[in-house]
Structure 1
Amino acid sequence: MDSLPSVTVDAITDDTTVLDVREDDEWEAGHIAHARHIPLGDIMVRYGELPADEEIHVICRTGGRSSRVTAWLNQNGFDAVNVSGGMGAWMDAERDMVSETDAAPYVK
């Protein structure tokens, strides 16, 4: 895993393809507005929903789950990078989030 490509949250722009692999309740609490959501447990059956011709920035809460998905995607022909620090780092950087509830977005 030492050679796993990674970037910081600062590398993410509105044009970046972001894959959030957290669970549904985490996603609903708060996520990056333009991110795609495929929970870790669904990635092996739903990877066909991902663009094969774009770099994919994979994010989770702190980086553990996204590291595993990044490695798996790269082994299966995708160009994926892990987002270091995950949504925790995103929140710490005070980047914009949205939620799927009436509550203010937060990282669960």
Structure 2
Amino acid sequence: MSASIPEVSIDQVPPDAVLLDVREDDEWAAGHAPGAVHVPMTELADRLDDLPDGSPVYVICRSGGRSARVTAYLNQQGWDSVNVAGGMGAWARAGRPMEADGDAAPEVI
């Protein structure tokens, strides 16, 4: 990613991080980080009031592309946000906790 977009690897995300998941509803339902706030990238501009309070806000998607775009946008709007490199795929590979909606085992789709 561009040097102008702050980015951290999964191992640099603190356990108490304020996490914003910008994936679509089906991706979120399949598996997400406990305590994350879900605002799909496609709804972001209309839902800025729903963003979590925190400094920084760690932004995550499936692989890091959408979250990088959201991070750039939020920082242009005055937020302190950081992209999570590798996204939920890296999150799952690192063994970080995940939960899913319903009774299904959490997975990254």
TM-score when scaled to structure 2? 0.93
CA distance in 2, matches of 1:37, 1:51: 9
Partner of 1:70: 71
- Percent of aligned positions with the same letter in both sequences? 53
**Residue matched to 1:20:** 21
Q: After superposition, where does 1:27-66 map in structure 2 within 5 Å?
A: 27-51=28-52, 54-66=55-67
Q: Conserved in 2, the CA contact under 8 Å of 1:52 and 1:78?
A: no
CA shift in 2, pair 1:36/1:51, >3 Å: closer
- After TM superposition, the score normalised by the length of structure 1 is 0.94
Inter-partner Cα distance in structure 2 for 1:51 and 1:32: 14
SS where residue 81 of structure 1 aligns? strand
Mapped partners of 1:25, 1:51: distance in 2: 21
Determine the structure 2 residue equivalent to 1:5: 6
- Conservation of the 8 A alpha-carbon contact between 1:14 and 1:34: no
Q: Which runs of 5+ in 2 are unaligned?
A: none
Residues 103 and 53 from structure 1, CA distance in 2 versus in 1: closer, same or farther, beyond 3 angstroms?
Answer: closer
Q: 1:53 Cα deviation (Å)?
A: 5.1
- Output the aligned Cα RMSD: 1.3
Query: SS of 2:47's equivalent?
Result: helix
Superposed structure 1 runs of 4+ greater than 6 Å apart: none
Number of residue pairs aligned between Structure 1 and Structure 2: 108
Flag the 1:49–1:99 CA change in 2: closer, same or farther, 3 A. Answer: same
